[in-house]
Structure 1
Amino acid sequence: MKKQRLVILGGGESGVGTALLGKANGYDVFVSDKGKIKENYKQVLLHNEIEWEDETHTESKILNADIVMKSPGIPDKVALVKAIRDKGIQVVSEIEFASKFTNATVVGITGSNGKTTTATLTHHILKQELNVGLAGNIGDSFAKQVLENDYENYVLEISSFQLDDIIGFKPKIAVLLNITPDHLDRYNYEFENYIQSKFRIALNQTKEDYLIYDADDEVITNHLKNNPVQSQLLPFSLTKTIENGAYLDKENIKLTINNNQIIMPTGNITLEGKHNIKNAMAASTVAHLLKIRKQTIRESLENFQGVEHRLEQVLKINKVQYINDSKATNVNATYYALESMDAPTVWIVGGVDKGNNYEELFPFINEKVKAIICLGVDNEKLMNTFGNMVDVIIETQFMSEAVKIAYKIAEAGDNVLLSPACASFDLFENYEDRGRQFKNAVRNL
């Protein structure tokens, strides 16, 4: 019998993980990357005798595939992807491919903001009592973990791009944190397309499965009204009383599932900000469903250290607090960051704008921001939007310079906040690179 041919577009973490899992399961595997494959990934492919190419796509070696796994970074409008689909070849994402080779209980977490924090926090709670992996957009790829560890449970951070290419993927527990306009450049600038993309997380769920979601998010609640899902609903809210799910009652989170209630004081949660109370509610609901002890959930919320590049307190210099929020790649994430500032703030913003509307930030600019430093190749939109709102607005293309300017402007008691509201690809490799450069520049002051 002829081996099934698996072609993988993109030789990054998810691509190489899928290649290893595919080979182990008897596929004829070929990896093709239009860019350069990083040296460490090349070594893995060579060591495992997997055929690969980089800096080109050889169509004759791709269009003979039985199945194609495409990296989430490659848009559907690329000619090669169109050609693959036109031939009727199935295109899947890594989570779709890998999920076929595990019987684990899967928790899938998506949303425009808070995915990484919620997924990391959920994993932090579950790992106290369960055998559990953390994958998706974080750490080692899901495919590689299925091959090497085959955990009994997985927490997956899942982007809309990964959900676009699922067919049968079905998490036992799906979490939908929020939906705000993001990545609209990939969805023909139609917010509705992006909403439907996020809701694909519940596409294959049945009444045996669960959907945990933010009941305060009108985009989500309206969509659910008009497009009911099969799964059991467990909402969370800061403003409403929820009978089955989680809500905030004064200073306590009250979480009820099938008449079994946990009460958790919010004062002891290490993560700050209203949005993090929601993230804690979502993570606790997952843990409660998976029968984690109440005491373990409470303790885990109190000792969780947070995520790098997400409102990460770097250093205090001359009584000025430097905060790295490089992971804020859209306006809504920056909204949460500015909302949680309790001192005059020098704000570093900019990068690749994904069709941003900055209006929701205006109240915070007036109230909290004393100076703006625009850090991007093209800062014109930022200058036009905020130029009249603050006394000091400065442009730069270098992180080290941005931090030095901030150091000069900031006074004792102020904050310096890197919260770009944009993607990082104009000046940096990715948001991690941007965050690390910020931290290094602060340490070098």
Structure 2
Amino acid sequence: MSSNELINQQFLKWCETVGIDFNNNSIVIKETPEKNRHLITEKFIPNGTILFKVPYTAMLNPLTSEIKSITKQNQKNNDDSDDDVDDEDGTKLWKDLVVCIHKELQKGEKSQWYPYLSILPTAKDQKFDNLYYWNNSELELLKPSKCVERIGNDKVQLMYEQIQDLYDVPELTKEEFLKISSIIMSYSFDVNGKSMVPVSDLLNASWNYNSVLEIDDEDDVDYICMVAKKDIKAGDELLNIYGNHPNGELLRMYGYVEDDNQNEFAEIDLDTITKLNNNYTNIIDDIDESYDMEDPLIMETFDVYKDEGIVSELVVLCEILTNHDEDMKKGLTYKQIIKKTINKVINNHQISNETRDLLVKIIDHTKNKYEVNPLLKKEYENKQGYSREYMASVVIKTEYQCLMDAINILDKEYTIMENKELEKIERKKRRMEKKDERKAKKSKK
């Protein structure tokens, strides 16, 4: 028996001890060279079946693993004032869980969660592939994808410093903090604040998922359930979902990509638009100042989706920009222009030829940034799994494909008004020609 198999067996025994119920579904842990630990079922499971139940008491979080005793504030005045710590950045739950996991890891085999922690990537030599661990030359492979700009190393450093201020954990190194943060990013759930949920976190994720974690807020139950969301065949892997993320975000946060990701989109910078015309900046500022609806019209980046194409906000903006001078001559206010354009684009699915031309220019400028990346044209005989170069290539190629398809999708969704008018003229011309032909035939008789 290999060491991993022994760890798996010890974990399953622990699951039984803490009351995790697999509901007789013949679910087993698998591990292959191509894939980390994951769960499969050895028998058919119908849609709606409870796959397993996890008691709240089996989860690892501040409620089950006390951290009050190591808060510096608590040591000073032995009260609960640490609950009132300013949490403007919304990361207190995350920081608390980092400390919980750190303290349990320090206990080693004495921790009640030791068999569980042993199956997580907690070893010192554990390799992580989320973007926190990529070096500069590897990150260059991802440009111009926006995922590189969202790594947030400054925020990571700030959170680490805040933990040192809040808790008496001088032995928590930056390296361990990053490792634990990566585990939380990939494995935790928003249950009882933020928790590590044994077994549930063994499921890999996919947009084509077949399982989901359900919380019963109505009945007084002491567990949560993983439930089948479709029929699952014997031998199939159980798959959860992290959310509707494109490959760049999956790689940034979780360290993997999906070749057939249906949630893919590329992004267009607002700067790309303003650089095309010096006058656009002032117009965009005036639009932004006049716009008073709930959802923003002007954004730093605009999405271009795999199946749905250019986000409608960008189409509206370009329609305003290309018709701006004519609308201003008519004496329209910006609010009137915005309302008129939204009705034309969103409700009637109509744009001008000039708008289409502008969108083509914007898409082409964005595509040019991708075309200098050598991975765009690099071919692979087969999938390379967690190879960082291969994952970067998937991000670049899928985002570029979104841009390649954008104008075709645009043409299917919107009617070009000038073309419509020309068609009317042509139809009228043909009718007049046929009318003249009929008159000519009658005169010959």
Q: Higher helix share goes to which structure?
A: 2
Same fold (TM over 0.5): no
Larger Rg: 2
TM-score by length of 2: 0.25
Q: Higher strand share goes to which structure?
A: 1
Instruction: With a CA cutoff of 8 Å and minimum separation of 6, indicate the structure with the bigger relative contact order.
Output: 2
